[in-house]
Amino acid sequence: MNIRRMTWVVLVLVTLSTPLALAVETFLRKLMFPPEFEEVRMYLRPALEFPVWSLLSLVLLTTVAGIRGQQRRVDKRMAARPEEEQTQHYRDKEIFDSLVLFTSLPQIPAILATFCFMLGASIVPVAVNMAAATVGVFILGVRGLRNADQSRAA
């Protein structure tokens, strides 16, 4: 298992998920919703600005939680394995599983921001949330790679 290659593939896929969700949502909204819905969106826009900007704090919290939880999960899962499974192969598997789990956390607020865009939020705070989530995903990915490299060196 080449953990570096798999990590970068996961990072790219997780990073693309939010912009892809925004594009699909916009396409489906234009296709399926009545034209009057744009008036509703304009009406709701001012009320959604603060909540969408507030989601940035959730991106930060989920990134910090991911950083703190990623290595703990690997250590806990490896400790629970039988002695014969205490190998680098299983550690790489646990690191990769942890990476997939924790890189998804910063994406949750960005997906919520995308949902708010559907309801009328401005694109600016939504895009900022997406950018912050992308940074969070890459921080978690690099951290996971560093953990993998440190476990090999030990």
Q: What is the pLDDT of residue 1?
A: 54
Neighbours of 154 (CB within 10 A): 7
Q: How far apart are CA 93 and CA 90, in angstroms?
A: 5
Total-model pTM: 0.85
pLDDT in tens, 96-141: 889 888 988 999 999 999 999 999 999 999 999 999 999 999 899 8
* CB-based contact 130:19 (threshold 8 Å): yes
Tell me how far apart the alpha carbons of residues 9 and 135 are, in angstroms, rounded to a whole number: 16
Query: Into how many domains does the chain fold?
Result: 1
pLDDT single digits (tens) 60-98: 999 999 999 998 998 899 899 998 888 888 888 888 889
Phi first, then psi, for residue 82 (nearest 5°) are: -65, 160
In the block, residue with structure tokens 């912050």: 132
- Of 97, 120, 118, nearest to 48 (Cα)? 120
User: 62 is in which domain, residue-wise?
Assistant: 3-153
Closest CA to 106 of 71, 147, 65: 65
And the tokens for 56?
């940035």
Q: Which two tokens stand for residue 105?
A: 């956390």
